[in-house]
Structure 1
Amino acid sequence: MSATGGRQEAARDLARLSINQETLKQWSLPELAEGCRSLGVTNVGLWRAPVQEYGVERAARLMRDSGLTVTSLCRGGFFTAADPAARAAAMDDNRAAVDEAATLGTDALVLVSGGLPDGDRDIAGARLRVADAVGELAAYAAGSGVRLAIEPLHPMFAADRCVVSTLGQALDIAEGFPAEQVGVVVDSYHLWWDDRVPDGIARAGRGGRIVCFQLADWVTPLPEGVLLGRGQLGDGCVDLRGFREQVDAAGYLGPVEVEIFNPALWARDGREVLAEIADRYRRHVL
């Protein structure tokens, strides 16, 4: 194969790969854009806090000028407060998140629902508040071309971060609204353990509900602060290729976003980490 042919094949291999900004947290936005461009990665997922710090309009220009597609913005949500003032503040923040997503040119705003309020043990009631808030936000987002992507998190996060723990629960909420407005995130790190996930992915595919597909591995022993313990692709026990094949079979052929929160990766040279992700993606996902 010629050098040109090799480069073209490598580019095809990485065509769907998206690098979530938090995976390379050690990089600034310009460094992320340059690093991805140099490796032939054309998709990125962004996070609100660093984008706000850089400037939303400025970040949007940087992405466009770098030839990068923003595949998602994380995150909105945290809808479970029972206090009316706190709920109103959360909705204001979520409307701002929709506006930011639209400015960045992404149609996917990832929602983490929120955990139980202090002293509250009514998880069913909290989920009802999530559904109500999603409906209110969906009506606002519809005018901006932004889809809401409900992300179920592993049950260990139900108390403090996300009362939506399974793909089925996320779909139960999403299916109350038009598919072009509300869908779900399929994240291997949070869902790998659940034997109902294959049926859930098929269900999501039939309804056109898969908005975002994210990958990270599950490694043991779990580190302290499990939120920051996601593994590099291939380092853990998740059948990453199997996840990709299932979402493909369900009709989702969009970006495959690698989202790894891991201080060990953040301490390394970003270019080395990015090259390793590309290699692991080829070996364990394609």
Structure 2
Amino acid sequence: MAVMAGRVAELLVATSVPRRPSSHSSQHVSASGRARAKCAASAVSSGACLLTSFCRPRTTGSSAGRARAIFAGAGGTPARDEETLLKKKAADLAPHLSGSSIFLVGMSRTDKSTVGKHLSQALGYYFFDSMELVETAAGDAVREMIEQELLDAETEVLMQLSPMVRLVVATGEGAVVSPRNWSYLRTGVTVWIDVPADHLIQTIAESEPPPELVDDTRKMLRARAEYYANADVTVSIEELAAKKNIDDLASLTAPMVALHVLEEIDRVLKKA
């Protein structure tokens, strides 16, 4: 793990991401109905987003190449009106975020990386996919790593990202299970991208999914839901589709979801 830590550190040093001044605490957003300590946000000077090779949707790993994008146009160019609305909302919200990072949690195959990239571009933030960092740092050895080793490696990544500001981080689906990980996630705003199991299954299977896939996906979501629910903000894809009068969840676009993320963060901030 020491070798992994060193490699992750080398990757992050190359990005020149700003860090939180040690004399200040980051702003912590508390979800409605959850009593959590809140502290003042540290002021961070604005600047252009220096996108690195990690500022793109994940293209390697266990789910790459086997699942369709969950949102329409996830890899394409967003409609101009969606892009304009997203940028406007980001400009309005940025002063209230004061550089606080955003951590996206949720099941795999929920396009967290794609949504995160749109968020980072709109806010002028850096984007990282925590599991992509693990894979890049581990190199070919990642193929030999067992699940616990991958989880431990992601914990190392989150630890090294936590002192940084102006980040959007897409996390692995199991990141929320570790209490230690939550200590790092709490340095920013956590957002659960809540996608129903039926829609997740559709992204994996082009035709009728096998019963075991349906059962496994439902069981996994039930097991993880209680952890995801600890996020500061929950973005329900079903509720967003209903709000937009969209029957097919696949018709939602990543910019729509990113805009809804910012709207929900704004709503929670106003309640805090």
In the superposition, the TM-score normalised over structure 1's length comes to: 0.33
> Which one has the bigger strand percentage?
1
Q: Which has the higher contact order (CA 8 A, sep 6+)?
A: 2
In the superposition, the TM-score normalised over structure 2's length comes to: 0.34
